[in-house]
Amino acid sequence: MNISDYNIVKYTFLFNLLVIIVFALIYANISPDNFKPLNPRKGLTYIDYFFYAITIQTGIGLPDITTISNLAKILVSIQSLIFMGSAFILITFILRKKQ
């Protein structure tokens, strides 16, 4: 792997990390009525939203938090599409390197 190959992988990782942070902040700062925690007795914290954004961005999508409103569903869908696009770019890069 030469230095430009390393940069593509590094920048893809950093881009995904930035997306996680931005969406975690968005989720935490919109109305709490948009999300429902698995344990309703406990309120959601920034850590919960950060964890949720990671699970969406990595494609795992653990159901610790459920979206309730259409706004939350749209935001999570946008984040999922960003993940799919970045995964497509990285996979395409890797497959082209093998040829």
* Domain residue limits, the chain: 3-98
| Alpha-carbon gap, residue 89 to 72, rounded angstroms | 26
Tens-place pLDDT, residues 53-87: 999 999 887 778 999 999 999 999 999 999 999 99
4, pLDDT greater than 80: no
Q: Which CATH number fits domain 3-98: 1.10.3720.10, 1.10.287.70, 1.10.10.10, 3.30.40.10?
A: 1.10.287.70
CB burial of residue 54 (10 Å; 0-12, 13-18, 19+): middle
Question: pTM for the whole thing?
Answer: 0.86
